Structure 1
Amino acid sequence: MRINKLLLTLALSTPALLPHLSYAGEVEVLHWWTSGGEAKAVQPLKFSLEKQGHTWKDFAVAGGGGETAMTVLKTRAVSGNPPSAAQIKGHDIQEWGSLGFLTNLDDVAAAGDWDAIVPKIVTDIMKFNGEYVAVPVNIHRVNWLWANPAVLKKAGVSVPTTLDEFFVVAEKIKSAGYLPLSNGVGSWQDATMFETIALSVLGTEGYTKAFVELDLEMLASDKMVEALVKFKKLRDYMDSDAPERQWYKATSMVANGEAAMQIMGDWAKGEFIALGKVPGKDFICAPAPGTAEQFTYNIDSFAFFDLKDSGDVDAQKALAAAILDKNFQETFNLKKGSLPARTDLDMSKFDQCSLDSLASFKMAERSGDLVPSVSQGMATTSYVQGAIFDVVTDFFNDPNADAKKTAKKLAKAVKAAI
């Protein structure tokens, strides 16, 4: 899987054409966008590169949370054969940068005026030592609740706005003979639900102390115990097949009326759209209960690796520029369900879910209620994230696990991973 230079073969009939001889490069792109909606969303980027004469080599590794992809990437990079770009985000960008694997994209950023068109909270994450080494694709809101309006109506309930309301609504849906909450396999999915419950219980300040500042007292606090108890209660409203299900299958259950609700980031909307569902009619998007004023963000991005072949470097820079191109930003995010990383796009083609998300982002940006997602690798290092995943998943899947002991275990696990 080496990155090789591909010669752009030209039929040269006269010496006058020789100055126009150029090399096309290959970009090998590692990502984990393999679900229906995700696969459709990434296609325009591939076409954009191919229009410029470059070759796109897809390096897709299945797995919604990206854990498998990161394992493969480490093996490739350490062996001296990294891809051109890889789907890396959050603190992992800093880690790869500190190891000397990433390349400087400042020339591309200056040409595209990235500092002016992308929110500072995003550009700060894309830089290592003040230099661009990664490019943002979008801004996801993680703390969403997705619901099937027909199922809610049959159960005689409305979309819950608080955690207490959620459990009352879930109980009524269950009594009416429907599955209240759909979920799938994977510690990242458990962590997505957990961080959402924790945000509701702890509030912005408590969440930040626990998962960004890694305050050990907050991690072992009574509030964390309360969050764990409420998180565990979600299990009462899920089905036994959840451990065998991918996240997008859980979304399709809500879309098809097999389940009432799902707690999941806005990439779920991409699946609803891919299934031909219409927001506001076939599905409802609402802030996760108790978190309407907060915005838990996940920023998909590609980090760019240091390459030696000049043709591939040219292709790599073309890819970096294409990611923040207006047309791609619009096309991709319409399909993916997320917000564009650019702030200067015409949003007239975006649906009400996206417009609500954008309004929430701006409001949270002003109020200080933008918080990085733990489950999506934005809040802390991969080592701390892994420790949190292990504790949270073990607790969620062990019917005899004690919340108070688990909170203390969580603090110890984080301390060991720092």
Structure 2
Amino acid sequence: MKRLLKGLCLAAAVTFADVHGDDPAAGHTVDIVHYWTSRSEAAALDVYRQAWIGAGNRWVDLAAENEAALKRVVSDRIAHGYPPAVMQWNVAASSRELRDFGVVQDIEPVAREQGWHERLPNFVLERISHEGKVYFAPSNIHVENWLWTSQAIFDEVGLEVPESWEEILTAAERIEAAGYQPIAIGAEPWEIALLFHGIMYYAMGSDGYERVFNGEAEAVLDEEMLDALDLLRRISRYAPPPAAREGKSWADAAAAIGRGEAGMQFMGDWVKGELTLLGYRADRDFGCTFTPGTSIAYFMVLDAFAFPLTAREGETQAQQEFARMVFEPDNQIAFSRLKGALPTRLDVDPGELDSCGQRGLQELIKEKYRTEVHSRAMPSHQVAAWIGILAEFFDDESISSQSAQQRMYQVISEG
């Protein structure tokens, strides 16, 4: 992030050349940097693309491999004086740095015109605003603490939806005995971290969870952290071995749930977008519930678009038009359906969402306490080390819970 912000700060004072060569009569041209590249993500993004093009504008797609690659692209583009018009961004506590350093512009005129202050949940408005002005156009809310189940396998084995981790382990044992893979997971280390954070919240509660991700290293040494690691170890025994997962992604794991080849997957609601795109339906082919003992408030991720400062003629107007388009209710609903997410607007019709979406929306409305405590609050180098430790522990039975705990403590204590 520091490298990114150095580039951003340098670029804030640069006079930009017009690299688009727009013809005003032909609408606006915007280049969009994003890392939504899975099939469902691409389909969801196409909602905005088609709406933008349908209004007579031009869309230049700049797809990055992942979030880190996106930040490199944005940093390089801005540092060299030709920032993208629009960039996808996960809005977290660290996003304030973009606003504090004055490298993204506000879209407050659009927010007031469209009534964002009245139509968005307060916790969303707080995250996208700074000193009374809105800086991000929110596209959707993702929730990470979902358990996805194969309806075919659960029906065949005669299983009810698990309501505790012990019931999850019992279900896994019975699924394995029936000849199926109990738990689906890909080869990406962050998938294991996401699973563990649900277990960690369950074992440590909100207080312990907050202490860890707020950087209190001593909290990592709590006995409950050992309990969480022990439970992760038990879960790991029902997942495919590393060699069987090699080259596979979370989307491949989701497809195994849809095909009835694996029983359960712990993953964010983007799984629903992938399953829906493959033709599977909630309550017919797959089930959805929240992982036991977790609170939705601690597992929400807010996707949005940000708009770098620019001196190119007409681009600020184009950015504002883009923000208007993102907030249109039909676009929010269509995008969320395909992405598997929840729309950010409070005034959408819940009937437009499937049963999983309705369940998520009900939980979202019910939660009164909002928090920004999340693993993403940790500095990026800590996140990488934290995830690496959990992935090694998950895949190597010779690593004890105590050893993993000490390594995690070292990561947090060294800052």
> How high is the TM-score relative to the length of structure 1?
0.88
1:266 deviates by 0.7
- 2:173 corresponding residue in structure 1: 171
Question: Counterparts of 1:294 and 1:55 in 2: how far apart (Å)?
Answer: 37
Paired with 1:203 and 1:269, the residues of 2 have a C-alpha distance of 27
Q: Which amino acid aligns with 1:104?
A: D
Structure 1 residue 3, shift from structure 2 partner = 6.8
Structure 2 residue 371 is matched with structure 1 residue 356? no
**Cα 1:92–1:30, aligned 2, differ >3 Å: closer, same or farther?**
farther
1:360 Cα deviation after fit? 1.0
1:227 aligns with 2:225: no
Cα distance in 2, alignment partners of residues 50 and 118 from structure 1? 26
Residues 306, 23 of structure 1: alpha-carbon distance in 2 compared, 3 angstrom cutoff: farther
**Equivalent runs, 1:82-97 vs 2, <5 Å:** 82-89=83-90, 90-97=92-99
Say what the alpha-carbon RMSD is for the aligned residues: 2.2
1:298 touches 1:372 (CA, 8 Å); kept in 2? Answer: no
**294-303 or 217-226: bigger deviation:** 294-303
Aligned: 1:44 with 2:47: yes
- Cα distance, 1:58–1:372 mapped onto 2, change above 3 Å: farther
Contact 2:22 2:29 in 1 (8 A): no
Counterpart position of 2:136: 134
List aligned pairs for 1:17-416, cutoff 5 A.
22=25, 24-63=27-66, 66-89=67-90, 90-211=92-213, 213-240=214-241, 241-291=244-294, 296-364=299-367, 366=368, 368=369, 372-374=373-375, 377=376, 379-416=377-414
Distance 1:166 1:107 in 2: 49
- Equivalent-residue separation in structure 1 for 2:119 and 2:378 (angstroms): 26
CA contact (8 A) 1:41 1:333 kept: yes
Residue type at the aligned position of 1:163: W
Task: Tell me how far apart the structure 1 counterparts of residues 382 and 78 of structure 2 sit (CA, whole Å).
Answer: 22
Instruction: Kindly state the Cα deviation for residue 77 of structure 1 after the two structures are TM-superposed.
Output: 3.1
Tell me the amino acid that sits aligned with residue 405 of structure 1: S
How far apart, in 2, do the equivalents of 1:216 and 1:238 lie? 30
SS at match of 2:350: coil
Q: Which residue of 2 aligns with 1:14?
A: none
Aligned to 1:5: 20
Alignment partners' CA distance in 2, 1:117 and 1:381:
32
Render the CA deviation track for 1:195-232: whole Å, top value 9, x for unaligned: 11112211222222222x22222222111111112123
1:373 positional shift: 4.1
Give the drift of 1:262: 0.5
Deviates more, 1:144-153 or 1:239-248: 239-248
Q: Is the 8 A contact 1:3 1:27 kept in 2?
A: no
- Counting aligned pairs with the same residue, the percent is 27
AA in 1 matched with 2:44: A
Counterpart residue identity of residue 132, structure 1 = V
1:13-63 deviations in Å (ceiling 9; x for gaps): xxxxxxxx6463321111111111111111121122223332111111234
The corresponding residue for 2:9 is none
Say which SS state the counterpart of residue 184 (structure 1) adopts.
coil
Task: Identify which range, 246-255 or 80-89, moves more after superposition.
Answer: 80-89
The aligned residue for residue 16 of structure 1 is: none
Q: Aligned partners of 2:383 and 2:82: how far apart in 1?
A: 27
- Residue range with higher mean Cα deviation, 172-181 or 156-165: 156-165
Question: Which whole-Å CA distance do the structure 2 matches of 1:128 and 1:415 have between them?
Answer: 30
Structure 2: tracts of 5 or more residues without a match: 1-16
Q: Which amino acid aligns with 2:177?
A: S
Q: Residues 101 and 306 of structure 1 are in contact (CA less than 8 Å); yes or no, is this contact kept in structure 2?
A: yes
Report SS of the residue matched to 1:244: coil
Deviation at residue 114 of structure 1 after TM alignment: 1.4
CA positional deviation for 1:129: 4.2
Secondary structure of 1:345's counterpart equals coil
Q: Do the aligned partners of 2:216 and 2:412 also contact (CA within 8 Å) in 1? A: no
The amino acid that maps onto 1:396 is F
Change (3 A) 1:147 1:138: same
- SS at structure 2 position matched to 1:147: strand
User: SS of 1:302's equivalent?
Assistant: strand
Distance in 2, Cα, partners of 1:67 & 1:190:
19
SS for the counterpart of 2:299 is: strand
- Counterpart residue number, 1:17: none
**Which amino acid is 2:236 matched to?**
R
Secondary structure of the residue aligned to 1:191 is helix
AA of the residue aligned to 2:98: W
Residues 97, 369 of structure 1: CA spacing in aligned structure 2 closer, same or farther, 3 A cutoff? closer
Distance 2:388 2:74 in 1: 22
- Is the contact made by 1:266 and 1:338 (CA closer than 8 Å) also made in structure 2? yes
TM-score, normalisation: structure 2: 0.89
Shift of 1:355: 0.9
Alignment length, in residue pairs?
396
What is the alpha-carbon distance in structure 2 between the residues aligned to residue 3 and residue 231 of structure 1? 53
How far, CA to CA, are the matches of 1:356 and 1:31 in structure 2?
28
CA distance in 1, matches of 2:18, 2:407: 44
Pairwise CA distance, 1:397: 3.1
Which structure 1 residue ranges, 5 or more long, are not aligned? Answer: 9-20
Cα distance change of structure 1 residues 292 and 320 upon mapping to structure 2, 3 Å threshold: closer
Q: Which letter maps to 2:259?
A: N
